[in-house]
Structure 1
Amino acid sequence: MDVDSSVSNTCYYSHNVTFFYNLVGKKISAGWTPRDFVVLGLGLTVCLIVFLANLMVMVAIFMNRRFHFPIYYLLSNMAAADLFAGVAYANLMLNTGPWTRTLTKEQWYIRGALIDISLTASVANLLAVAVERHQTVLTMQLHSKMTKRRVVLLIVCIWAVGIIMGLVPSTFWNCECDLEDCSTVAPLYSRRFLVFWAVLNLLTFLIMVAMYSRIFIYVRSRSQCASQHTTEMLHTQTVVNLMKTISMVLGAFVICWTPGLMTLLLDGLLGKASYANKYEKFCLVIAECNSLVNPVIYSLRDDEMRRTFKWILCWLCQRNGDQQREPSPVAIHSALQEETLGCIQKSEDQVMETPHNTNDNEDCWTGPGV
C-alpha cells in the first residue's frame, strides 16, 4: 500500500493490528495450515523442554551448597531468563496464526515485549558468564571474588536492560507514525529498531568471541609452559575441557542466533525485498533453542551438577515409590553423595577420583563449568 507524502507523518494510533499486517503484506491466515501446525507443535515442544531443563538447573543450584558461589548465581539467573523465554515463546505460539487478528495492539506489543525481554536477558546472562569466566581464569582463581551485593546488582542490571529493550518498541520506537518504516516480520515495529537490535546482539557475540579467544590463548600458553608436576594432568584436562566448552558456546550461539539476527537485519535494511516472512518463524524457533542449549553447556559439563541432577531424579523416583521424607536443603550436601552412590552404582573411591573433586585442592585453578 502506497502512502502519500502529505500524510507520511500522520500517526495511526486508532488502527488495529490487521491494518499494519495488511500494510506490509503479511497475511494472517483465516484457518490453520499444515505449516502453522508444524510451527506450533515444534515451538510448544521446545518450550516444554526449555522450561523443564532450566527449572532443573535452578533447583540443583538451590539444593546443593557447593553451588552457592557467584558463577552459579549467574547460571541460575541465566536459567531463570531462559525459563522465562520458554514461557514467553509459548505465549507467542498460543497467540499466533489465525488468533493474531483477535489481538489488540496492546496485547500484540506485550507478546513481542515478553520475547524481547527474555531473549535480551538470556544474551546478557551469556555475556555476564563470559566476563566472569574471563576474570576468573586469567587471575587463576577457583571462584570469583565478587560479593553477593555485586552479583545481585549485576542480575538487576541484566533484567533492567531486558525490560528496557522490551518496552522500547511499544513506547516510542515503532512505525505507527511512519508507515514506510514498518517491518515485515513485526509489522508494528520500526525497521530501524530491528537493525539496532540485530547489530547490538552481533556486537555482543563479537565481544564474547574476543573474551573466549583470549582465554584460549592464555590457557594454551600456560599448558605449554607447564612443568612436570603432579598438576600437569590436571592442567591438560583443563585445556581439553575448556576447548570443548568454548567450541560448544560459540557454535551454539552462531547456530541458534545467526539465522534470526540476519533475518531481522535484512528485514530492517531491505523491507519487503528481503522476503523475511517466509522463514522468520523457523528462525525464531532456532533462536529459542539457545535457551535449551545453555544449561547443557554451562551446567551439565560440571560433574557436580550432573551428580546433583541424578540425585534429584533418583529422589523423585524414590519419593513416588516409597514416599520418603524430603531432606532439607542444609543436609543436601551430605545426603547427595550417599544417594548418588545408590542410584548410579558407583563406589566412593570412583566418586573421589572425578575431576570435580580436585577443585578442593589449593593448586587447582579451574572454575565451574570448565
Structure 2
Amino acid sequence: MGDVVLVTGAARQLGGRFVRRVQREPGVDRVVAVDAAPPRHHLGGAEFVQADIRQSTIAKVLTEYGVDTVVHMDVTGTGLGSTSRATVKETNVIGTMQLLGACQKSPRVKRLVVKSSTNVYGSASRDPAVFTETTSPKSLPSGGFAKDTVEVEGYVRGFARRRPDVAVCVLRFANILGPGAETPLTEYLSLPVLPTVFGYDPRLQFVHEDDVVEVLLRAAREPRRGTLNSGTFNIAGDGVLLLSQCARRLGTPTVPMLPPAVSWLGSALRTLGITDFSPEQLRLLTHGRVVSTVQMRETLGYETKYTTAEAFEDFVRSRGLGVLAPALVAAAVDRVAALPFLTGARGAGTGARGTAPAQSAN
C-alpha cells in the first residue's frame, strides 16, 4: 500500500466507508478524500479536500499531498442530491479524463485503482451465457451509465499505455447491494410492486458493499506472492438469482408487462422522480447478465464473503422490504403460472441467452 492514498467520490456512502477503512491499513500514512461536495458522514482521520475532478485543480492536489496511490470511486450511475444526469456524466467521463491527466504528469503516482461496472458488457438477446473479462459485448451500450463506463475504461487503457510504470487495476463490479447501497436497481427493488418484462426472467448477480470495500483494498495494496494487482477483473458474489426469485424473497408482487409498456412506465417513474428506470436497466431486466469471477479468485486472489443470494438477503433484511409475506406471493405466483392460457405464451419470449423461463424460478 502506498504511503499517501487519494480517494475520489468520498462524499458518497461507499466512498466514505472505503476512506475510513483504508486508514487502518499498515503503511498508510495519509489519506486524502476528494469530492465536489462535503460529505455528510465522518471520514475518520482523513483529510478532506473539496475539489471537482472535472477541473484541473485535481493536479495540484496530487502534487501538494505527494499522492502515490489513487483509488477512483467517483464513477457512478446516480448523482448526489439534485445532481442532474448531465453533471453525473461529466463527472464520470470528463472528471476521469482530468484525473488521469493529472496522474500522468505526476511522477509519484505508482498505483491506480478504478471502480467500474459489469454494465460495460451491456445486456442483449445474443449475449453469451457468461461474460469473461476478454469477452466483447454483442451490442455496445448506447447511453446512460453503461456508456460512461465504456468511455472511462477506454481512457484508463490509454493512460496505462502512456504510463507503463503505474500499476493499473480496473474492477468491474456487478450490481452492488447492502444496507447503504443507493443505485437505480435498489430503487427498483424497493418499489411496492415490481414491473417485469412479460416472458422473461433474467439472471442477476450481486456483490455486497462489504466485499466492494475489501476488494478495493486488495487492489490498492502491493501484490502478494502469487497474485497480480493489475489488470481488469469482474467482481461478483458466487451464484445467480432469477428476478422472480428476487421478488419472492422480497415478498413483493410482480406485474408482467410487454416491453413498450415497461418502457413507458419507466419514463413515467423517471419523470416523477421515483426511480431512474433507464433503458439500460430495462435491458438488464429483460436479458440479465452473468460474469465469470475466475480471474478475481485466481489472479487477484480474492474470495467474496457474500454470495449473490446472501448479498440480496442482507439487502432485504436491512431495508425491511416487502409488502406481502414471501410464502403468500410464492403461492399466488404458482397459481397464476399454472393457468393454461399462460403456458404457451411463457415460452415465447425465453429463447434468448441470459434469460430463463419464468417457471424455473422456485
TM over 0.5: no
TM category (shorter chain) comes to: under 0.3
Normalised TM-score (structure 2): 0.24
Which structure is larger by alpha-carbon Rg, 1 or 2? 1
Higher helix share: 1
Higher relative contact order (CA 8 A, sep 6+): 1
Higher strand share: 2
Normalised TM-score (structure 1): 0.23
